[in-house]
Amino acid sequence: MELFLLRHAIAVARQGQSVHCDRERPLTRDGIRRLRRVAHGMRTLHIFPDRILTSSFLRARETAEIVAAELGCKAPEPTPHLEPGGDPESLLALLSERADAAQRILLVGHEPALSSLASMLLSGDARMQITMKKGGLCKLRIDHLRCGRCARLVWLLTPRQLISTA
């Protein structure tokens, strides 16, 4: 399985007067513009996921929807396991269920949860120091998905690197 981890794009500030709670923070215009360029870089790298799972927070949903549209993929599926405070073991169980039907899965979520997930899959615990920029993308290769060390890091790209591939 190829597992891609994408951090949501730039969202409006938490202190914005138009935002009533963190869950409702939308992407900024600049975030949307840059994300479209990131998605074009993903297309250049031939990243076409079979399935996209996303946090149900607005900024992650918008990120997943834009990427799906740009890549011509099926609509993203929201899951609470990718929300801040989500349960990584439940996420892995969900991925195991979906793995037979999908060999390339894109997860769209938040920091520090995505870095912790990558760390757990790469090293067996969540303490590895990985930083994912907003709009950054990580590719892991997994032969047998399980909770613990089971993945190999293929690459970790910043948005700038993805945009420059386009």
Q: Please give the pLDDT value at position 29.
A: 97
Strands 151-157 and 104-109: unpaired
Alpha helices in the chain (DSSP H): 29-44, 58-71, 88-99, 113-123, 159-165
What domains are defined for the chain? Answer: 2-165 (3.40.50.1240)
Q: Please give the pLDDT value at position 13.
A: 87
- pLDDT tens for 75-119 read 999 999 999 999 999 999 999 887 676 789 999 999 999 999 999
- pLDDT tens for 32-85 read 999 999 999 999 999 999 999 999 999 999 999 999 999 999 999 999 999 999
What is the model's pTM?
A: 0.95
- pLDDT tens for 75-84 read 999 999 999 9
**The dihedral of CA 137, 92, 152, 51: what is its sign?**
negative
- At which residue do the structure tokens 């793995």 appear? 99
